[in-house]
Amino acid sequence: MKQFPFLLLTLLVFAACNSNKNKITSKETITSTPLETTSNDIWEDPPMLLGDFKAEKLKLAPYNEWFVPIYKETILDEERVAYLATLIEDVEILGFVGSWCSDTQIELPNLLKTLNHINFDQRKIKLVGVDIDYQAPDGSNIEWNIERVPTFIFIKDKQELGRFVEYPDESLLEDIIKILE
């Protein structure tokens, strides 16, 4: 009888975790997803950023609630950022991010502040918002094998140099430098 509450709790947790899973797997379903989806659609409030978007959108509500404070609080190591500038000149960045993800909410403002500081060409950055199943509306997550966010892919001469995935080993800046060296 003492085990009954534990078994009941375990059963309820298992049922709750599996009840909301609705994984999008076909490209047709992904393509038909609206660019901004509300909590009624994918259990998210505020709306998710889905598909291609410009960094400027992060300065607008509701994303500015997390983007602006982290951007302002990011302290840059001037010497290391200057070194990054010498490495990143001919590099393009493809970023898969989840506006709902706490790692994205920390690392994306850090990345953009660093790149803005060195006047990195914004046309060389492509940001793609994904849903909670890491699916992009255009299916590009499949092509790039995205399993976690944020994923920042560094590309030079159409060749992938490396990736920053989810959280840093050392710091975002140092991890990027290691990728580009």
The letter for the amino acid at 11 is L
Separation CA 45–CA 75 (nearest Å)? 29
CATH code of 3-180, in short, is: 3.40.30.10
Strand partners, 126: 94
pLDDT of residue 46: 78
State residue 115 phi and psi, 5-degree precision: -65, -40
Separation CA 129–CA 127 (nearest Å)? 7
Q: 132 or 19: whose pLDDT is higher?
A: 132
- Which helix (H) or strand (E) segment holds residue 49: the answer is strand 48-49
pLDDT digits (tens, 9 = 90+) for 138-156: 999 999 999 999 999 999 9
Instruction: Give me 112's structure tokens.
Output: 């953009």
The yes-or-no verdict on residue 131 having pLDDT over 80 is yes
Cα–Cα nearest to 39, from 67, 20, 59: 20
- Which helix (H) or strand (E) segment holds residue 129: the answer is strand 125-129
CA atoms within 13 A on the CB side of 91: 24
Query: Is residue 128 helix, strand or coil?
Result: strand
42 neighbors 101 (Cβ within 8 angstroms): no
- The model carries a pTM of 0.76
Give the range among 37-41, 109-113, 135-139 with minimum mean pLDDT.
37-41
Q: 19 or 178: whose pLDDT is higher?
A: 178
- Largest alpha-carbon pair distance within the chain? 68
pLDDT of residue 2: 55
Sequence spans of domains, the chain: 3-180
Cα–Cα nearest to 99, from 72, 60, 143, 125: 60
pLDDT digits (tens, 9 = 90+) for 9-61: 443 333 333 333 333 333 343 333 444 444 444 444 679 999 999 999 999 99
Cα–Cα nearest to 45, from 128, 111, 132: 132
